[in-house]
């Protein structure tokens, strides 16, 4: 067994004593790492070792530890404060992996992150869930990177409060599962920065084949955080290119330009059963190999990812169905059973997202993987949000993919951009397709056109026209 799966994790037994646990048999409820990550997000000024001591003394209960620490924070004998982090190291949490040693191939003891430096296929198996907590493991085994304690505590808490207030206006959206219209198992709204963008989002851009109704004006906090997200996401993109991509080069079709978010989707998950099913995010306006910055606030939840498995020859004729099930509103059309069966093919990876963590979905994510927020059996209430989790995904809509340029299908609807994911012969190719059939109550046509892009992922059909036009969406962060 390799060093990754056999490494020992510090674990709290029911009696509150520490013991070791083989990673393979770990379960989120057992995990000290996630409990510690939650406490660190709530009490970033307290040292990790002291938080661990308090957690042990509270029999591993995050709630009790959190209540105790809150009392101590206001009492006259505060726990040791950490040195204030320099601005440049905003929110980087020391990885727990870096404290864990394992036996390397040459027999010497090495910190775990040295042994996993080389990226490998994750040790997941059909039907199993591998729980990852540390930034090093997440970067090594998934197309994501995570930054814990991303914002200063006050900023994260006040953004959470503001968005909880906003969430009164959030709505469920309808989507189609085969012939049934169902409602999203969470509420959401889209945020843009100007009244003109609001108009465009409700009357020109579509999502899941329909115009958006729930578009809102970004709050000043959302926009100021967007600037911080922009900086860190661009740094992480460069690290990813340098450390992970072949030859240290960006992926084909990945944009070489600076990532500049100009829209934010905000979701609210109220209680443990609210969720989002396995999906890939719609590429229509993001273009190929997009990067998405996703900030989690409030209750910690599990973000599950799984690789998309290419179909064998015998299944090749199911491509049409596949196109439905990974759809845009995409959060949509994959039934729970289909989803579970497919997820089981290569196992799932669970990334734990505590309050104030920024997850970056890198350029290979949407085409090669699917993601979801799994319903939880139990959650630890958050002191500010109770049972609720807020998630903001900052996105960069490309000017070159404004709906004024993208093809229309024979129904007169905006075609949507998809990547062929499961059919081996066409895997990785992009296509424009009619989406009308996926919208509740609508029949679609069979419109289909291969999509062609330049190396930067901009469409090749009408470059001249695009260059002549003014940019279409303001940088979300800059336009205030």
Ligand X SMILES: O=C(O)CCC(=O)C(=O)O
Neighbours of 99 (CB within 10 A): 14
Q: Let me know: does 457 contact 287? Beta carbons within 8 Å.
A: yes
> What is the per-residue binding string for Fe ion in 258-287, x denoting contact by CB under 5 A?
-----------------------x------
Contact 248, 240 (CB under 8 A): no
Among Fe ion, ligand X, none, partner that 280 touches (CB below 5 to 8 angstroms by kind): none
Nearest CA to 378 among 26, 10, 30? 30
Choosing from 230, 294, 326, 421, the residue that interacts with ligand X (CB under 6 A) is: 294
Report the DSSP beta bridge partners of residue 348. Answer: 129
Number of residues forming the site for ligand X (CB under 6 A): 10
If the CB atoms of residues 265 and 405 are measured against ligand X, the closer one turns out to be 265
Task: Pick one of Fe ion, ligand X, none as the site partner of residue 391 (Cβ within 5 to 8 A by kind).
Answer: ligand X
The residue whose Cβ lies closest to ligand X is: 391
Helix, strand, coil in percent for the chain, rounding step 5: 30, 25, 45
Of 212 and 371, which has the nearer Cβ to ligand X?
371
Residue nearest to Fe ion (CB): 281
* Helix axis angle, 32-42 to 62-74, nearest 10°: 30
Residue 188 and residue 171 in contact, taking contact as beta carbons nearer than 8 Å: yes
The dihedrals phi and psi of 277, each to the nearest 5 degrees, come to -70, 170
Distance of CA 63 to the CA centre of its chain: 26
461 in contact with ligand X (CB under 6 A): no
- Closest approach, Cβ 370 to Fe ion, in A, equals 9
The listed partner (ligand X, Fe ion, none) that binds 303, CB under 5 to 8 Å by sort, is ligand X
Cα distances (angstroms) measured from residue 137 to each of 5, 90, 115, 116, 349: 11, 20, 11, 8, 11
Among 303, 432, 435, 453, binds ligand X (CB under 6 A): 303
265 contact choice in ligand X, Fe ion, none (CB below 5 to 8 Å, kind-dependent): ligand X
Q: Does 367 bind Fe ion (CB under 5 A)?
A: no
The nearest distance, CB 275 to ligand X, in angstroms, is 9
Residue 373's binding partner among Fe ion, ligand X, none (Cβ under 5 to 8 angstroms by kind) is ligand X
Which residue's entry shows tokens 């646990």? 21
Q: How many residues contact Fe ion, by CB under 5 A? A: 1
Q: Which is nearer to ligand X, 240 or 371 (CB)?
A: 371
281 binds ligand X (CB under 6 A): yes
Who contacts 11 (Cβ-Cβ below 8 Å, separation ≥6)?
A: 18, 19, 20, 21, 26, 30, 31, 32
User: Cα(171)–Cα(17) distance, rounded to whole angstroms?
Assistant: 45
Sign, CA dihedral 415-184-190-170, equals positive
DSSP classification of residue 101: E
Q: Is residue 276 within the footprint of ligand X (CB under 6 A)?
A: yes
Q: Cα(95)–Cα(168) distance, rounded to whole angstroms?
A: 36
**Closer of 281 and 458 to Fe ion (Cβ):** 281
Q: Does 265 bind ligand X (CB under 6 A)?
A: yes
Residue 267 binding: pick among Fe ion, ligand X, none (C-beta 5-8 Å cut-off by kind): ligand X
Binding mask 361-390 for ligand X (x = CB under 6 A): ----------x-x-----------------
294 binds, among Fe ion, ligand X, none (CB under 5 to 8 A by kind): ligand X
Nearer to Fe ion, 281 or 322 (CB): 281
Q: Report d(CA 451, CA 261) in Å as an integer.
A: 24
In the complex with Fe ion, the residue whose CB is nearer, 281 or 325, is: 281
**Does residue number 334 form part of the binding site for Fe ion (CB under 5 A)?**
no
Q: Tell me: does residue 302 bind Fe ion (CB under 5 A).
A: no
Nearer to ligand X, 56 or 190 (CB): 190
List of E strands, 214-356: 215-217, 263-270, 276-279, 292-298, 301-307, 348-353
Using CB under 5 A, list all residues that contact Fe ion: 281
Using CB under 6 A, list all residues that contact ligand X: 265, 267, 276, 281, 294, 303, 371, 373, 391, 393
């Amino acid at each position: 067994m390799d060093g990754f799966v056999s490494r020992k994790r510090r674990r709290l037994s029911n009696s509150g004593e520490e013991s070791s646990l083989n990673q393979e048999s770990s379960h989120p409820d057992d995990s000290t790492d996630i409990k510690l990550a939650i406490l660190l997000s709530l009490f970033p000024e307290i040292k990790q070792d002291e938080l661990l001591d308090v957690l042990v003394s509270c029999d591993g209960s995050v709630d009790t530890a959190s209540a105790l620490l809150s009392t101590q924070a206001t009492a006259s004998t505060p726990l040791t404060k950490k040195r204030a982090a320099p601005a440049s190291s905003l929110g980087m949490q020391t990885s727990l992996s870096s404290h864990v040693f394992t036996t390397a191939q040459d027999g010497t003891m090495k910190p775990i992150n040295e042994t996993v430096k080389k990226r490998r296929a994750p040790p997941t198996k059909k039907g199993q869930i591998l729980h990852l907590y540390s930034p090093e493991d997440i970067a090594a085994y998934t197309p994501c990177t995570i930054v814990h304690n991303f914002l200063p505590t006050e900023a994260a808490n006040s953004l959470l409060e503001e968005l909880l207030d906003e969430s009164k206006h959030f709505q469920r959206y309808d989507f189609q599962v085969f012939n049934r219209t169902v409602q999203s198992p969470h509420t959401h709204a889209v945020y843009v920065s100007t009244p003109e963008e609001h108009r465009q989002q409700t009357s020109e851009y579509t999502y899941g084949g329909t115009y958006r109704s729930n578009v809102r004006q970004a709050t000043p906090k959302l926009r100021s955080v967007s600037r911080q997200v922009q900086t860190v996401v661009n740094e992480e993109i460069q690290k990813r290119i340098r450390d992970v991509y072949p030859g240290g080069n960006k992926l084909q079709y990945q944009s070489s330009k600076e990532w500049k978010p100009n829209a934010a989707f905000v979701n609210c998950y109220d209680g443990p059963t609210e969720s989002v099913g396995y999906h890939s995010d719609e590429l229509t306006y993001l273009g190929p190999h997009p990067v998405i910055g996703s900030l989690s606030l409030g209750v910690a939840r599990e973000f599950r990812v799984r690789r998309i498995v290419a179909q064998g020859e015998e299944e090749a004729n199911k491509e049409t169905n596949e196109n439905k099930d990974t759809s845009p509103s995409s959060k949509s059309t994959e039934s729970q059973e289909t989803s579970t069966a497919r997820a089981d093919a290569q196992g799932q990876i669970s990334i734990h997202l505590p309050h104030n963590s920024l997850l970056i979905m890198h350029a290979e994510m949407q085409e090669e993987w699917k993601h979801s927020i799994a319903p939880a059996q139990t959650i630890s209430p958050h002191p500010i949000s109770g049972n609720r989790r807020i998630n903001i995904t900052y996105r960069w809509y490309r000017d070159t993919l404004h709906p004024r340029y993208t093809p229309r299908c024979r129904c007169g609807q905006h075609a949507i951009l998809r990547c062929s994911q499961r059919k081996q012969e066409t895997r990785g190719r992009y296509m424009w397709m009619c989406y009308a059939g996926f919208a509740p109550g609508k029949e679609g046509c069979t419109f289909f056109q291969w999509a062609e892009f330049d190396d930067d992922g901009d469409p090749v059909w009408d470059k001249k026209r695009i260059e002549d036009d003014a940019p279409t969406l303001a940088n979300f962060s800059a336009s205030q």
